[in-house]
């Protein structure tokens, strides 16, 4: 599949069903693209779709089966769009929240393999079931531990301090499955990763009242 160059070609790409409940179209949305007119279109649609299918089937669908709707905030980014966003961020504009292209290859840039040659995909998502609980407690650790226990295919989790939103990654290469909490202006806080004490324990005591895995 070539890079879309017409409305018809973009429509066809958007209709690609990545998994039972997720389509490529929702993965292409970007506020930065909309405001600045930088098309968020993959240079290599086949690689983007292949990585997106694994993210959706192996990571997002287990969340959907347990919690219902999973809302996509930001997912695929083209290399050009991500680079623009990162340059705005390094210039000091806090509204832009993108790492550089090397970091985001096989993360948000689904159609670019990383330096080790592996593909991957990241999506920033919300779980509406969790929003009210997070609003009451401000604590995303229960959801983090639930995902750790019930979604073995995730490669990385980064939680943000609004609405319980988080980045979740699928990656075909080796991963320590780290779980971080983003604190703007300060280093990320590590909850746990493979090899840390208690990482492989049953963490059910941390998420009472959560649904069973689907």
- pTM of the complete model: 0.94
Q: What is the 3-state secondary structure (H, E, C) of 58-77?
A: HHHHHHHHHHCCCEEEECCC
Domain ranges of the chain: 7-206
Given a cut of 70, the residues of the chain with pLDDT beneath it are none
pLDDT of residue 1: 78
Query: Which phi and psi angles does 179 have, rounded to 5°?
Result: -120, 120
pLDDT of residue 61: 98
| Residue 64 near residue 21, CB atoms below 8 Å | yes
Quick one: tokens of 67? 């919690």
DSSP per-residue codes, 117-175: S--EEEEEEE-HHHHHHHHHH---HHHHHHHHHH-TT--EEEE-SSTT-EEEEEESS--
Note the pLDDT tens digit of each residue in 111-154.
Answer: 999 999 999 999 999 999 999 999 999 999 999 999 999 999 99
């Amino acid at each position: 599949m070539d890079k879309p160059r017409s409305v018809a070609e973009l429509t066809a790409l958007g209709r690609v069903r990545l998994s039972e409940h997720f389509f490529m179209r929702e993965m292409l949305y970007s506020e930065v693209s909309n405001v600045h007119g930088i098309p968020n279109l993959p240079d290599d649609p086949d690689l983007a779709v292949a990585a997106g299918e694994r993210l959706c089937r192996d990571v997002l669908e287990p969340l959907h089966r347990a919690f219902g709707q999973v809302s996509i905030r930001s997912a695929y980014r083209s290399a050009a769009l991500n680079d623009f966003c990162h340059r705005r961020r390094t210039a000091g504009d806090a509204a832009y929240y993108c790492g550089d292209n090397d970091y985001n290859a096989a993360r948000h840039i689904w159609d670019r393999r990383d330096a080790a040659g592996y593909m991957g995909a990241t999506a920033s998502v919300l779980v509406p079931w969790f929003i009210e609980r997070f609003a009451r407690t401000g604590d995303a650790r229960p959801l983090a531990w639930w995902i750790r226990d019930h979604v073995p295919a995730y490669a990385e989790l980064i939680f943000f301090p609004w609405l319980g939103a988080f980045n979740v990654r699928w990656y075909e290469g080796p991963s320590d499955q780290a779980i971080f909490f983003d604190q703007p202006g300060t280093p990320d806080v590590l909850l746990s990763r493979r090899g840390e004490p208690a990482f492989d324990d049953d963490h059910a005591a941390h998420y009472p009242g959560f649904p069973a895995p689907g």
